[in-house]
Amino acid sequence: MELLIQQILNGIIVGSMYALIASGLSLIWGTMKMLNLAHGEFYMLGGFFMFFLNVSAGINPFVSGIISIAIVFIAAVIVQRVVIHYLMEKPGWTESHLIATFGISVLLQNLALNIWGERFKNIPYYVDANIYIFGIGLSAQRILIFMVAVLVIVLFWGFLKYSRFGQALRATSQDRDSATLYGINTKLIYMIAFGVSAILATVAAIMLAPIYSVNPWMGSDLLLKALAVVIIGGLGSLVGAIVGGIGLGILEGLGIIVFSSEWQNVIAFSLLILVLWIRPSGLFGTKEW
């Protein structure tokens, strides 16, 4: 029973990060109708910048995290402005964005490989202690991960719901032409939304890097998990991303008890196939923005 509860708690903690990453994908789909296949590489860049600033340069973890978020945000905005922006104005957008973002993914992976090398980089825990909940020990790092995930998701939801930018973003996602007629700068909305999605991926990388380490391929598995989560939850749904992420994390945690950690991907994609079979639009297949 103790092991069962511990794995459920671990699943909720890891699932909260799945939800965070998937929320970025859902944001992009809800506004631009695109699947960003380079989303995992922004996660990877966040991890490497955090390693460089915190471990190599010896900067405080909080300051390193803020700087890493700013750098990845700027990188994402540049990618959107240089590549995505021009593709959106041309025919074949449905296919071209997949090809372009896949190319960006390969480019960023190889850049990271040449700059930082293939060896895995380790980041020390930001909080090195144990916390006991109902007699079950959890590392303070994992508790911190969950707290940050909840805080960021709440701030993200409030930002979309109540800020002027959030209102403009929802208007743009519903009808781009009407939003333009009302004076909304849709090009700016797309650019900032792309950058915000990269911020969510970077926060997840910063928090998970001490547990999973940093390497040039770290974004690939997380992207697959995030894609599974957004499809299970429903494309474009923030609620679906949260429920799907936490649900998947719990199932993976329980799956380790029954099988082993090697079955995590099998569990994720088995759940994906089951949901697509029963409800192709996902659990929450309507827009929540």
Instruction: Give the integer Cα–Cα distance in Å for 33 and 289.
Output: 13
In a domain, 286, yes or no: no
The pTM of the full predicted model, rounded to 2 decimals, is 0.90
In a domain, 227, yes or no: yes
In a domain, 22, yes or no: yes
Q: How far is CA 105 from the centre of its chain?
A: 15
Q: Which of 33, 32, 27 is nearest to 197 (CA)?
A: 27
Dihedral sign computed on CA atoms, order 12, 17, 19, 22: negative
In a domain, 287, yes or no: no
Instruction: Give the integer Cα–Cα distance in Å for 36 and 83.
Output: 12
In a domain, 178, yes or no: yes
Instruction: Give the integer Cα–Cα distance in Å for 107 and 160.
Output: 31
Report, as ranges of residue numbers, the positions in the chain whose pLDDT lies below 50: 287-289
CATH number at residue 95: 1.10.3470
For residue 118, what are its two tokens? 């293939």
In a domain, 137, yes or no: yes
Which residue reads 């511990």 in tokens?
6
pLDDT given at position 287: 47
Domain of residue 178 covers 2-278
pLDDT given at position 134: 67
In a domain, 16, yes or no: yes
Residue 23 burial (10 A CB sphere; 0-12, 13-18, 19+):
buried
- How do strand 130-133 and strand 136-139 relate by DSSP bridges? antiparallel
In a domain, 23, yes or no: yes
Domain tally, the chain = 1
Q: For 246-262, write each residue's pLDDT tens digit.
A: 988 888 888 877 776 67
